[in-house]
């Protein structure tokens, strides 16, 4: 029997889209013959996953988890093609398990896919097997992790679909050495703000805004001013003020707190520091809205029929 090398397993995995352990077993069952192993995988229904890999996966769930000590939190977006599958307990259970795994690794998607579940299964293989079993393309699209040494990481799940899973999830990390339960409560309120504010924050502060996003907004504002009849040199001066105002709208620390619009998040943090008797820092936040930024494919059946029949 041919030696089952890592390179051979990798080759079969790339060709079939099946999980690593499934590929290894297929090669063992077929004496290292790749083509025979492909047939073996097909008969087991495990090679179907590769055929689904190019289908848009914009539905699914965001799973969230906070460690027992409340100092670390993770979000994992696990996508499928339809919201029907997102209601499947097997799918939800997998999402929850992936969030548990994320707590033990660095928060990177590749690291999560390469890690093992509590049952000793490689996460990437679990995803592949779910694709074969359920019949839809799936993927762990993104993940995030926040930690504090002292203070709290709060998790808020909006539009929950089950335990620890939702369509919108927020993590907030509030660092401080003062009253820990009080800090946890303020972190929770800020997480509620991030989820519920009409203008979702793009960054913690102005320095963290994506330069490309700022440049695009500046271009829009200049063009708007010029089209209103202002000379270019006047438009440039007007835009500086508008950009500062826009930044206050999209930067979390400058936003009016939804529970008290007379107070900004920055002022809430400062007030919390006074109340707890110790410096407090809003270390970071993460907001995952399911499917945001994913191009969703839609099937226009009427248009397809018209094109086939030549109808206008």
The lowest-confidence range among 31-40, 111-120, 205-214, 288-297 is 288-297
Q: What radius of gyration, in Å, describes the C-alpha atoms of the chain?
A: 25
What tokens appear for 299 in the block?
């099937």
How does DSSP assign 230-289, residue by residue? --HHHHHHHHHHHHHHHHHHHBGGGSEETTEEEEEHHHHHHHHHHHHTS-EEEEEEEEEE
Domains with residue ranges and CATH for the chain: 6-52 (1.10.8.10), 59-198+278-289 (3.30.479.20), 210-247 (1.10.286)
| Cα–Cα distance, 131 to 296 (Å, whole number) | 19
3-state DSSP assignment of residue 68? coil
pLDDT band with cut points at 50, 70 and 90 for residue 44: low
**260-264 and 139-147 as β-strands: parallel, antiparallel, unpaired?**
unpaired
What's the gap between Cα 236 and its chain centre?
37
Measured over all CA atoms, what is the biggest interatomic distance in the chain, rounded to whole angstroms?
80
Phi, psi of 73 (to 5 degrees): -140, 150
Q: What are phi and psi of 143, to 5 degrees?
A: -155, 155
Report residue 140: phi and psi, to 5°.
Answer: -85, 110
Among 186, 191, 193, 196, smallest CA distance to 271 is for 186
Retrieve residue 87's tokens: 């209601």
Three-state SS for 212?
Answer: helix
Q: How many CB atoms lie within 10 A of CB 229?
A: 8
303: pLDDT strictly greater than 90: no
Q: 164-213 pLDDT, tens per residue?
A: 999 999 999 999 999 999 999 999 999 999 999 999 999 999 999 999 99
Lowest-confidence range among 16-30, 186-200, 269-283?
A: 16-30
Q: Is the pLDDT of residue 300 over 70?
A: no
The sign one gets for the Cα dihedral 186, 190, 191, 197 is positive
Give the CA angle between residues 59, 61, 62 to the nearest 5°: 130
Contact predicate 298/179, CB 8 Å: no
Which has the higher per-residue pLDDT, 14 or 154? 154
Tell me which of 4 and 143 has the higher pLDDT.
Answer: 143
pTM, two decimals, is 0.76
């Amino acid at each position: 029997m041919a030696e089952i090398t890592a390179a051979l397993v990798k080759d079969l995995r790339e060709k079939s889209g099946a999980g690593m352990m499934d590929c290894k077993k297929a090669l063992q069952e077929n004496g290292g013959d790749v083509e025979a192993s492909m047939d073996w995988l097909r008969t087991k229904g495990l090679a179907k996953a590769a055929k689904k890999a190019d289908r848009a996966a914009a539905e699914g769930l965001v799973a969230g988890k906070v460690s027992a000590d409340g100092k670390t939190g993770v979000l994992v977006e696990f996508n499928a093609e339809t919201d029907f599958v997102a209601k499947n307990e097997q799918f939800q259970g997998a999402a929850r398990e992936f969030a548990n795994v994320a707590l033990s690794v660095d928060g990177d998607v590749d690291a999560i896919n390469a890690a093992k579940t509590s049952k000793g299964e490689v996460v990437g293989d679990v995803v592949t097997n779910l694709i074969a079993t359920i019949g839809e393309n799936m993927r762990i699209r993104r993940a995030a992790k926040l930690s504090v040494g002292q203070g709290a990481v709060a998790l808020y799940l909006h539009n929950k679909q089950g335990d620890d899973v939702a369509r919108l999830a927020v993590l907030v990390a509030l660092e401080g050495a003062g009253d820990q339960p009080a800090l946890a409560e303020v972190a929770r309120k800020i997480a509620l703000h991030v989820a519920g504010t009409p203008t979702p924050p793009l960054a913690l502060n102005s320095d963290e805004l994506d330069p490309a996003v700022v440049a695009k907004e500046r271009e829009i504002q200049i063009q708007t001013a010029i089209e209103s009849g202002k000379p270019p040199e006047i438009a440039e001066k007007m835009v500086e003020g508008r950009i500062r105002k826009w930044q206050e709208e999209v930067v979390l620390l400058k936003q009016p707190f939804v529970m008290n619009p007379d107070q900004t998040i920055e002022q809430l943090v400062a007030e919390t520091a006074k109340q707890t008797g110790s410096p407090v820092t809003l270390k970071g936040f993460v907001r995952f809205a399911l499917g945001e930024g994913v191009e969703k494919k839609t099937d226009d059946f009427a248009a397809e029929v018209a094109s086939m029949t030549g109808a206008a």
